[in-house]
Structure 1
């Protein structure tokens, strides 16, 4: 499963610095606000289980799973006539409409040398501004679909009559500046949403671009909020107040919130690993936000990783949590899913304790599983299929 995350935010929020930190692409910072181009990069998903397996099997290649990131120009800007945009252009929308999730970059750092579009730092205000543009974009899409469905419903076709009822509920929600994801959605609603690629229904994470010295404290604060600990933003000052507000918003929305110092992490990504780690030690070894963004994307989309291992290749594969063995086999090849017979499965932990498939079999830790087996994160699987 190819995971694609769209990176959006206001100008000067640090979107492209984040993109560069993730991809090491060296994309130019601050490209023209009128552009509709996008930066696209593919990133290997860090998985500490691959190297130990590679040391055992000495394979011809090691293949991690990947995530694609799409970075678009800053939102919330004026058009050439000086009027505020009313939603995203079709060209702009085309870059992110197929994204599986959105990474919304919100700036909390202050820097007199880096201007802010609103001339002050307020991540909740910025988020509301971005949401308004996403809502306007979706409202335009819904209204166009209503026009089409209204014409089709004149024939008396019940399908379009029911579709219109759903669309008008979507319309009312968006006109109230609410997210589609906040609605109670039926199976019919979800079926229609799959066709429409609306932005306000996509899973989202808030990437707080913090100052270098705040990175460690920001990560700890967001972890407390995610764990359900009580945090009162009014007792905090400076950056941490805004970070707490966004963290609480994310928890209420069942979204993700991570902290990054995008410019710092972009610079560190260009250094040798030893030098980068030495600098991180001087900062108290804060967890980098770039890896958190990837992990957050997996949590948002309820994804897990299973592994295959042998002399030819050690490889990571991505499936949706709850996938059964034939579906996982289909990630390797559709024919294996179609002719699936059984799976030979052991967990990564059990395999490493045994050191080989033979030893795992002898200890009863390599199991034969059928079509109803649900793949677990870290399973090492070998699939048997017929002709």
Structure 2
């Protein structure tokens, strides 16, 4: 599991520069003109996890396997995208299956990089892009609804429930509000998510600032942070240019570079940590001589469900989970030491996995 984020924004706000930096590739061409991204770009990155390295050292692991995160970068959206303006609308389908949407907002002045609307205004940029996503959702629902209504009229209970959820979303969208504002009953959340509405997803704001503002932010990024609070969202201040330069350096050089800028860690690390917080995710580990590995799960998951991330058979045949807290695993020198010190616990089906748990699952085939 990990998570998948769609990156959206107007042209020339730094989306592709950020994508290139985060995935440490040049797969997305960053250029100073609208629509330079003419195909959706999908990149996968390792989730930074310092604890994993420590675990591997203690366990004597031959291999370290981090959790993964996907970014989907689409062409810059413009006003009118939902009516076919620009290229962005063609690629909206590529972010319908993502877990969250990242709005990249330009928070820097630069006469050499054209702003598609002629001035820097991150809040106006956000509102334009969100409006286009709302219009795309509205069109999608209206197209799909007629067939579902026909099924519902035959007495199909599932179709009736689906129509009710569609109406819930349509009520918000027709009032000019994103679908995430709808109050969805807890029992209907799974069916709601299956509607794959762009504006129903959690959102994360990235305020793309100039290098000088990377550590402290600026007036533009402060506006973004205020809007994020209003939306019940989270915001991260990043300089895509710095991340781009950082991607070209080795670990030691990168650390030195960050220190000169007054930064403690790369923007990628902050972005992923914020994304985990937004989606309610956490990490557990498996460790041994062969490999130490990080696994991403949602907070509140039970041991059997967490085991299912490794393999469905682990969940179906779950017996128990031998569990050691990360700190105890390291302090006791590994599994044997933790067991001798009474720090290994045998947890059953009702156990709620905690962040940092080191687990060994017992199951029947």
TM-score by length of 1: 0.88
1:292 and 1:359 mapped to 2: Cα distance? Answer: 34
Q: Out of 285-294 and 172-181, give the one that drifted further.
A: 285-294
Q: State whether structure 2 residue 309 is matched by structure 1 residue 331.
A: yes
Q: State whether structure 2 residue 235 is matched by structure 1 residue 257.
A: yes
Q: State whether structure 2 residue 29 is matched by structure 1 residue 28.
A: yes
| CA contact 1:16–1:29 (8 Å) conserved in 2 | yes
Q: Which residue of 1 aligns with 2:9?
A: 9
TM-score by length of 2: 0.93
Q: Out of 352-361 and 196-205, give the one that drifted further.
A: 352-361
* Cα drift, residue 255 of structure 1: 1.3
Q: Out of 252-261 and 103-112, give the one that drifted further.
A: 252-261
2:283 and 2:190 mapped to 1: Cα distance? Answer: 27
Structure 1: unaligned runs, 5 residues or longer: 219-239
Structure 2: unaligned runs, 5 residues or longer: none
Summarize the Cα distance change of 1:135–1:368 in structure 2 as closer, same or farther, 3 Å threshold: same
Q: Which residue of 2 aligns with 1:49?
A: 51
Q: What is the aligned length?
A: 363
Q: State whether structure 2 residue 35 is matched by structure 1 residue 18.
A: no
- Spell out the pairing of 1:237-256 with structure 2 (5 A cutoff): 240-256=218-234
| CA contact 1:344–1:366 (8 Å) conserved in 2 | yes
| CA contact 2:122–2:224 (8 Å) conserved in 1 | yes
2:193 and 2:86 mapped to 1: Cα distance? Answer: 20
| Equivalent position to 2:263, from 264, 275, 285 | 285
Summarize the Cα distance change of 1:110–1:84 in structure 2 as closer, same or farther, 3 Å threshold: farther
Summarize the Cα distance change of 1:378–1:161 in structure 2 as closer, same or farther, 3 Å threshold: closer
* Cα drift, residue 86 of structure 1: 7.1
CA RMSD of aligned residues (A): 2.2
1:77 and 1:129 mapped to 2: Cα distance? Answer: 6
2:158 and 2:25 mapped to 1: Cα distance? Answer: 47
Per-residue Cα deviation, 1:181-232 (whole angstroms, up to 9, x for no partner) = 11211246534422220000111100010010011112xxxxxxxxxxxxxx
Secondary structure of 1:12's counterpart equals: coil
Q: State whether structure 2 residue 170 is matched by structure 1 residue 171.
A: yes
Q: Which residue of 2 aligns with 1:294?
A: 272
| CA contact 2:173–2:179 (8 Å) conserved in 1 | yes
Summarize the Cα distance change of 1:72–1:97 in structure 2 as closer, same or farther, 3 Å threshold: same
- Spell out the pairing of 1:152-191 with structure 2 (5 A cutoff): 152-155=151-154, 157=156, 159-187=158-186, 189-191=188-190
Q: Which residue of 2 aligns with 1:221?
A: none
Summarize the Cα distance change of 1:38–1:66 in structure 2 as closer, same or farther, 3 Å threshold: same
* Cα drift, residue 90 of structure 1: 6.8
Q: State whether structure 2 residue 349 is matched by structure 1 residue 371.
A: yes
